[in-house]
Structure 1
Amino acid sequence: MKSEEILRLVDTIHRSKEIEKEVVFQGIEAALLSAVRRKHGESEKDNVVIDRETGVTTVIQDGQEIDPEELGRLAAMSGKQVMFQKIREAERDRIFEEYEDKIGKLVSGVVQRYEGPNLIVSLGRVEGFLPRSEQAPGERFRVGERIKSLVKDLQKSANRVKITLSRTDRELVKALFALEIPEVQDNVIEIKKIAREAGYRTKIAVTTYDTNVD
């Protein structure tokens, strides 16, 4: 791969996947190192370095610099698999970090499809999983319908992140009230306790220390 092609690839992945350029460079270096070892065998003196400014690649095999073009097609294909694996892992980690801060918070998404009784909800760049156990009794949604739910749990699974949503959690009610009632959002009114039977009834105990609020 020519230096300008490497820089273009790094920039494209950085923009489309929102992955730091350094992570992409490291992925390409790991891919080329894998290709070197696939073709020539493994040595502690193997190394690959890509100049971050010019894209020029230096490949060291057993302490000797070699031409990257010598790696061959099969080795290069194997290297690309390593690169894409690294990029998928980086994308997974980025999504995990983003949604880790959203656990217990309200998100809005669009119903994509049903998988049995469970819902798959598009949250933009990722999908959320709304299991039947986290849906209120009697709830039915249309594909394409926008719904609000709470981020209940987050798990890394292989190269993806499983985002579990809930529409039965008590905190959902609190988040919805904060969204709709400015006094709750501004902490003028404090929700002290929530008792909820999802799909049937909800009781909320509130208090305020503002004498201007009845």
Structure 2
Amino acid sequence: MNQDFIQALRDLEREKGIPVEVLLEAIEAALISAYKKNFGSAVNVRIHIDRDSGEVKVFSRREVVEQVEDPRTQISLEEAHRENPNYEIGDVVELEVTPKEFGRIAAQTAKQVVVQRIREAERDVIYEEYVNREEDIVTGIVRRQEMRNVFIDLGKTEAVLPVSEQIPGEEYKVGERIKTYIVEVKRTTKGPQILVSRTHPGLLKRLFELEVPEIHDGIVEIKAIAREAGSRSKIAVSSRNENVDAVGACVGPKGMRVQTVVNELKGEKIDIVKWSKDPATFVANALSPAKVLEVKVDEEAQVAQVVVPDYQLSLAIGKEGQNARLAAKLTGWKIDIKSESQVKELQTEETSVEGGLNSG
């Protein structure tokens, strides 16, 4: 190694941000292993690389003892005094033992260490970049599928879309550009592992933030999201400006904004409803597109009794109970839906029971 090598390390420091001293210390540590492997594993050595010239020197380190038992690691006081009369028992004597052919081994080892450190530094940079983007949206290109997991090229690295985070029935074609939500970034020996999702409610939130300037600017706020990925979602929004219609802003001119989100999610239906701090109003809004006649809330039990017109009952409940289920998830309330006829029947039965009790 020489001055050119030291200069190359300084160039690396500027380009990759790896301090020269860190690289040199790592090379010195690696050279100790290389020396022991080639010239005696039991020898205790120190290796020093001159920070200006790049010259490599090997020093044997032997402890000063009264009786030498292992000459590879120990030296007698008499022999130590020949080097320096000030040595005492317990001191460590360093003598240069640099082999003539050590330069080639040193150069090869240094190259391996530098390459490894560059890889580690690049992985660290990528990790730091993406760990700060957890809960954010990224766009990537589908590269391949392995064991049903989808690998997405993000440019500098790959992300994994596990089966559990894939939208049921959605197909991912190689070369296709898709948006995903970063769920977690893990540091591994092979570099950062980025787990992304297509089913997370956060993806829906981020997509609306991209499409609706009023959300990005903080005028309109997404208060709650309930999602059954690939099928249907509900989002509750409110406006901080009374002159801005929160629902209208999210729907967009001719429905363009919400349609862009629907297209990205391959046709997932999205209901946008107005949030209200009044639980009864919020529950009624959450059951949209069904029309609600009356809502009675039991705040202690967190139950909402909802009455809808007869012809709206199936719409309010939804296919396989989906509309009611999403509304309950969105509001955090248990929702009990009945039609007008059912309520009247119950009232008639109650009246009959009361009448029977009174006559008795």
Q: Tell me how far apart the structure 2 counterparts of residues 207 and 58 of structure 1 sit (CA, whole Å).
A: 69
Q: Tell me how far apart the structure 2 counterparts of residues 55 and 145 of structure 1 sit (CA, whole Å).
A: 53
Alignment of 1:26-175 (within 5 A): 26-40=25-39, 41=41, 46-49=46-49, 51=51, 54=52, 56-62=54-60, 63-64=94-95, 70-71=101-102, 73=104, 77=108, 80-175=111-206
Unaligned runs of 5+ in 1: none
Whether contact under 8 Å (1:194, 1:204) holds in the other structure is yes
Identity %: 41
The question of 1:201 aligning with 2:232 is answered: yes
The residue aligned with 1:20 is 18
Of 188-197 and 83-92, deviating more is: 83-92
For 1:194, what is the secondary structure of its paired residue?
strand
Structure 1 residues 21 and 209 mapped into 2: Cα distance closer, same or farther (>3 Å)?
A: same
Per-residue deviation at 1:38?
Answer: 3.2
Length-normalised TM-score, structure 2: 0.51
- Pick the structure with greater CA Rg: 2
The question of 1:7 aligning with 2:7 is answered: yes
Of 92-101 and 82-91, deviating more is: 82-91
CA-to-partner distance for each residue in 1:126-165, whole Å, 9 max, x for gaps?
1111111111112112211111111111222223221111
Identify which of structures 1 and 2 has the higher relative contact order when contacts are C-alpha pairs closer than 8 Å and 6+ apart: 1
The residue aligned with 2:208 is 177
Q: AA paired with 2:54?
A: V
Structure 1 residues 44 and 110 mapped into 2: Cα distance closer, same or farther (>3 Å)?
A: same
How many residue pairs end up in the alignment?
210
Q: Tell me how far apart the structure 1 counterparts of residues 167 and 147 of structure 2 sit (CA, whole Å).
A: 16
CA-to-partner distance for each residue in 1:6-37, whole Å, 9 max, x for gaps?
5336636964xx45343544444443343334
CA-to-partner distance for each residue in 1:18-62, whole Å, 9 max, x for gaps?
4534354444444334333434447666133452xx562443422
CA-to-partner distance for each residue in 1:54-100, whole Å, 9 max, x for gaps?
56244342234566863265675455444444443333322222211
Structure 1 residues 147 and 10 mapped into 2: Cα distance closer, same or farther (>3 Å)?
A: farther
Per-residue deviation at 1:176?
Answer: 0.8
Structure 1 residues 175 and 116 mapped into 2: Cα distance closer, same or farther (>3 Å)?
A: same
Q: AA paired with 2:11?
A: D
For 2:129, what is the secondary structure of its paired residue?
helix
Q: Tell me how far apart the structure 2 counterparts of residues 187 and 167 of structure 1 sit (CA, whole Å).
A: 25
Q: Tell me how far apart the structure 1 counterparts of residues 18 and 54 of structure 2 sit (CA, whole Å).
A: 19
Of 184-193 and 90-99, deviating more is: 90-99
The question of 1:213 aligning with 2:259 is answered: no
Whether contact under 8 Å (1:36, 1:61) holds in the other structure is no
Structure 1 residues 129 and 173 mapped into 2: Cα distance closer, same or farther (>3 Å)?
A: same
Whether contact under 8 Å (1:34, 1:79) holds in the other structure is no
Per-residue deviation at 1:101?
Answer: 0.5
For 1:175, what is the secondary structure of its paired residue?
helix
Q: Tell me how far apart the structure 1 counterparts of residues 205 and 218 of structure 2 sit (CA, whole Å).
A: 12
Whether contact under 8 Å (1:30, 1:83) holds in the other structure is no
Of 91-100 and 75-84, deviating more is: 75-84
Q: Tell me how far apart the structure 1 counterparts of residues 220 and 167 of structure 2 sit (CA, whole Å).
A: 26
Q: Tell me how far apart the structure 1 counterparts of residues 201 and 57 of structure 2 sit (CA, whole Å).
A: 57
Whether contact under 8 Å (1:34, 1:82) holds in the other structure is no
